[in-house]
Each structure stands twice: as C-alpha cells, then as structure tokens.
Structure 1
C-alpha cells in the first residue's frame, strides 16, 4: 500500500491492509518484520462507502516511534483514494479530525461524527469476529 516510509528512528516501515469479515485493519510492520500495529475498522454495513475506524494500537516495544501517526495518515490517505467517508470512533482519529478535519476535507477527504448506530455496528462486528 505504501512506499518508502520511515519511523522517527529512520527505520523503514510498511503499511498494509488486512481485509476480513467482520473486522479489517490497516497494519504496520517495521523492517519487514511482523505486524506491530493495527488500526481496526468496520465497513459500515448500513451505509456503503463509510469506514468506521474504532481502535488503533501499537506494540509497546515500538512506542514513541510515530507508528500510530503513520497508520493514521496512511488510513486517511487511503480513504481519499477510495472515496470513503471516515467515521472516527477511535480517539486518535477523532482527535486528529477535530483538529485537522478542514485540511483533510481540503485534500479530498470526507468524515462525519459517529452515531449510536455506528457504535452498535462496531459492537456487533467485534462480537462476531472469529
């Protein structure tokens, strides 16, 4: 999904996407190693073209290297490329879009505030994950 990304230490990282039913994720690896971070999402079952991002986590051994920020930026860039509306349930994404939502929209992005129905969709998806 990405080319030539590096973390704050200068180490090469890669962001990919794992599509699954019901919960998918943007993933990040460091130096061709295993996945060390995830931004989990559900594609809204009631509204085509909406991606509910609900949880972002980076392995503690890799904390402080900017990996969550890279995941966030790549996920938002991917949503622009795909014409998806982001629904930020994850506090990291919600905070970013509260602060920089105008920039995201100016770059071609779309987002909206989550509703109870979105939270319910996440709850159902998480309960039904294998």
Structure 2
C-alpha cells in the first residue's frame, strides 16, 4: 500500500481536467487532491514532438513549500524523457529554466504556430 502524498513528498502525474485539457497535477493529502497544475499541450511539427506549457498554478494555501518547483521539474523531466521539446509560454517556467539552465537545450522558441495551437 502506498503512502498518501504529503507536502514533503507530493505526487505529480499527467492527467486531464474536467474540460479535457491535458495537464500535470501535483497532489498532497488524504484524499490526494490536486493543489496545483501546469497545462501541457502536445503539438507536432513535422517529425518533432513538442509540448507547450502556457500556464502553471499552485493554490495559495500551499504556497511557500516548493510545490511549484517540484511540479515543474517533474513535468519537464517526464516531457523530455518522452522525447518532447519544450515550448514555454508560462512566466514561472521561463524563470525556473533560467535558474536551471540544463533544461535550456530542450526548449524551442515559441512561434505563431504554437500560439495558434493554444487557441485551439
């Protein structure tokens, strides 16, 4: 039996919200309710798989515990491991990558094509 995720050991997983939007969620507590998320939109450019990150959010009640950083690190690691390039619009993730430059090699500059994909 696995332990319930805690602030010290949160759970991050890829899923979808009620509207069907793909996102990584970070969960803590019992039951393990989502307390934050980062939207992750898959996009194909020729043979290249890309994942667009437009927005990240953590509930204010859980701020200051490093959950946003944990969420972003795990989301980006999973995305890279799955063979995707990172397309970052989210200001938090942009700032996070600046502090973790080893991720820059996996990013591509957003284009108007990416903006169109966000608009659906």
Give the structure-1-normalised TM-score.
Answer: 0.75
> 1:118 maps to what in 2?
114
2:44 paired with 1:37: no
Q: Is the 8 A contact 1:88 1:94 kept in 2?
A: yes
Residues 122 and 22 of structure 1, relative CA distance in 2, 3 Å threshold: farther
Equivalent residue runs for 1:16-35 within 5 Å: 16-19=13-16, 23-32=21-30, 33-35=32-34
SS at match of 1:118: helix
Q: Alignment length, in residue pairs?
A: 115
> 1:55 maps to what in 2?
55
Gaps of 5+ in 2: none
Deviations 1:18-60 (A, max 9, x none): 0478620000111342111000011015455100011100111
Distance in 2 of aligned mates of 1:69 and 1:37 = 11
Q: 1:99 Cα shift?
A: 4.1
Give the structure-2-normalised TM-score.
Answer: 0.80
> RMSD across aligned C-alpha pairs, in angstroms?
2.6
Gaps of 5+ in 1: 125-130
Distance in 2 of aligned mates of 1:50 and 1:37 = 22
Residues 81 and 49 of structure 1, relative CA distance in 2, 3 Å threshold: same
